[in-house]
Amino acid sequence: MITPLEESLLKVMILVIMFGLGCSLSLKDFKVAMKTPKPVIVGFLSQYLIMPALAYGMAKYFEMPNAWAIGIIIVACCPSGTTSSLFNYFAKGDLALSISLSSITTGAALLAMPLLLAIYTGPFQAENLQVDTGKVVLSLAACLVPVAGGIFLRSRSERWAKNMEETGAALGIIVILFLILSWLPRNFSQLLESDPSILFTSIGLGLGGFLFGYWVSRGLGMSKRCSRTVSLETGIQNGPLAFAIILLSFPETQANLILWPALLYSFFIVNTSTIVTYFMRRVARKEWFHHENDEVQAELFTQGWLKP
């Protein structure tokens, strides 16, 4: 499915992406997050409860092959990354909340992911297909080392960290485009012949995360802006991290099968996120327009220039 050269390039790019993610985080983000815990708690629970349960439910409902089910569950158990913050920027979301959520979910991944994978992949494991939790932890730790390096760089030089953060975010998009341009033409026939269930699941995981994240937040009384942020943070998973865990934790023959839903998810999430972000941005602009009109009207009445 992917060539040895592509696999090597992916591993290098993933390290750079994770380093860039670390450069977007700081210890201050954790402190800021604790001052307004409600949005962070909602976002955290949406990320680590809704997404794995949604992936597991779809895998069981469609009776997916074990390898595909494990692949989509691995994607669902990953934290959010720099890509979600990029889309939050364009959607006029709460960037401080987005970065705080990335900080918390990434920091918790070392404990949360192995536990969630042990719970949700259990029914899909077989004698010839086992999820080695120890290898997953080691793979995850290897990916989080550059994140720690990025945090350290930011503590020493915010200017250099900002450059690396932008590089990591851009490279995240480049990785997905690279896979689309190099991998899709070779596997296009396989894509067309794929069972509709894997296509629906790959698209539905992101869309379901957007919907659940937004409406759960609204139901708990959060503002529309915060709800949009939680929505994007929930639906957009750290695809490159999922690639790394799969490539480092499974033998090549199994990794190619497990990687299929992760590749499809990454391919579709760029398109769905772009559409969702476009509509969110339009809504945000309308909200700002009405807010600005109300502010001007209130000021005119207060100063007596207009009479109610």
User: What CA–CA distance (Å, rounded) separates 29 from 50?
Assistant: 24
pLDDT at 192: 67
CA 179/CA 301 separation, integer angstroms:
58
Please, which residues bridge with residue 126 across strands?
A: 129
pLDDT of residue 12: 74
Q: What is the pLDDT of residue 302?
A: 55
Q: How many residues are given for the chain?
A: 308
Kindly report, residue by residue over 207-259, the tens digit of the pLDDT: 999 999 999 999 988 888 889 999 999 999 988 888 888 888 888 888 878 88
How high is the pLDDT of residue 175? 67
- pLDDT, residue 306, reads 45
Residue partners of 290: CB distance under 8 A and separation at least 6: none
Q: What is the pLDDT of residue 190?
A: 67
Q: What is the 3-state secondary structure (H, E, C) of 87-123?
A: HHHHCCCCHHHHHHHHHHHHHHHHHHHHHHHHHHCHH
Look up residue 294 and give its amino acid: D
**What's the pLDDT score for residue 88?**
82
Residues of the chain falling short of pLDDT 50: 291-292, 294-296, 300, 305-307
What's the confidence (pLDDT) of residue 231? Answer: 92
Q: At a CB cut-off of 8 Å and minimum separation 6, what does 112 contact?
A: 48, 77, 105
**What pLDDT score was predicted for residue 289?**
60
